[in-house]
């Protein structure tokens, strides 16, 4: 963990639930304890057990994980993001064609209650190794990934409400999967990932301007000759 204002990382104890990869972790309300909490969802389990549906609330002060209600679908390498109201969207993933779901936190004051999970409308296509972000207007965007036809540049956005559904958005300039993406100041930045031809690694960086509704290539790429893939990112 790298704390705000610190210059070096601090190693935390191992997770009490054991190892997992291809999972998604979202920071949740930190007011309940000193170092905060992370909601750890899905992933690819140990001993080649395949994608899992478990959801665990991890206390970063003790690294103790508390089981929550399971995802409706076992998934790994999927897109997830927190919404302004505290809910978390999950969609896509390995072996998951298109279902999406919504995790809701306990009601205010019910700190010992578990998170709950509900079904969302399915996407128009599968996305494995995709990225996902909360747009500034409260919608949720899914970007790129790998579908049955290969690595894609396509994007879909989900609107919430009684008539909420998925709608297409302009595609990226480059197809990519297993990349990083982050939303900041009305834009979404994507970088790296695996490309469509021979699993080439992307060095390119693109930004989606929510006001203009279009993707723009940034003039700088990643500082690695072969790009980066299967990496993580965080906004400082």
Q: Note whether 219 and 177 are within 8 A (CB).
A: no
Cα angle value 69/135/168 (rounded, 5°): 95
Domain architecture of the chain: domains with CATH: 1-106+113-122 (2.120.10.80), 124-236 (2.120.10.80)
Task: Say how many C-beta atoms besides its own lie within 10 A of residue 180's C-beta.
Answer: 19
- The alpha carbon torsion through 48, 50, 56, 62 (nearest 10 deg) reads 10
Q: Tokens 């031809």 label which residue?
A: 197
Dist CA 77 CA 128 (whole Å): 6
Q: Reduce the DSSP state of residue 32 to 3 states and report it.
A: coil
Burial annotation 4-35 (CB, 10 A radius, 16+ → b, else e): eeeeeeeeeeeeebeebebbbebebeeeeeee
* pLDDT tens across the length of the chain (236 residues): 888 788 899 888 888 877 888 999 988 866 656 678 889 999 987 766 788 899 998 888 888 888 998 999 999 999 999 888 888 999 998 877 678 999 988 876 566 678 888 999 999 888 899 999 998 888 999 999 988 788 999 999 999 877 778 999 999 999 999 999 999 988 999 999 998 766 688 899 999 999 999 999 999 888 887 778 888 888 87
Rg value, the chain, Cα = 18
Q: Note whether 60 and 11 are within 8 A (CB).
A: no
Q: Put the strands of the sheet holding 187-191 in their side by side order.
A: 180-184, 187-191, 205-209, 214-217
Q: Of 190, 156, 188, 166, which Cα lies nearest the Cα of 176?
A: 190
């Amino acid at each position: 963990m790298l704390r705000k204002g610190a210059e070096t990382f601090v190693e935390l104890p191992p997770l009490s639930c054991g190892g997992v990869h291809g999972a998604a972790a979202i920071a949740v309300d930190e007011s309940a304890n000193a170092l905060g909490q992370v909601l750890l969802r899905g992933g690819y389990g140990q001993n080649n057990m395949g994608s899992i549906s478990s959801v665990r609330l991890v206390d970063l002060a003790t690294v103790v994980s508390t089981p929550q209600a399971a995802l409706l679908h076992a998934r790994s390498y999927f897109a997830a993001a927190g919404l302004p109201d505290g809910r978390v969207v999950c969609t896509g993933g390995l072996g998951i064609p298109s279902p999406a779901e919504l995790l809701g936190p306990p009601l205010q004051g019910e700190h010992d209650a578990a998170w709950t999970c509900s079904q969302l409308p399915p996407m128009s296509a599968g996305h494995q190794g995709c990225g996902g972000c909360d747009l500034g207007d409260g919608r949720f965007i899914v970007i790129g990934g790998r579908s049955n036809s290969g690595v894609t540049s396509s994007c879909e956005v989900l609107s919430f409400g009684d008539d909420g559904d998925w709608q297409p958005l302009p595609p990226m300039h480059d197809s990519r999967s297993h990349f990083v993406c982050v939303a900041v100041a009305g834009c979404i930045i994507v970088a790296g990932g695996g490309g469509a031809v021979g699993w080439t690694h992307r060095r390119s960086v693109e930004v989606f301007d929510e006001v203009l509704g279009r993707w723009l290539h940034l003039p700088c790429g990643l500082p690695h000759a072969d790009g980066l893939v299967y990496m993580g990112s965080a906004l400082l």
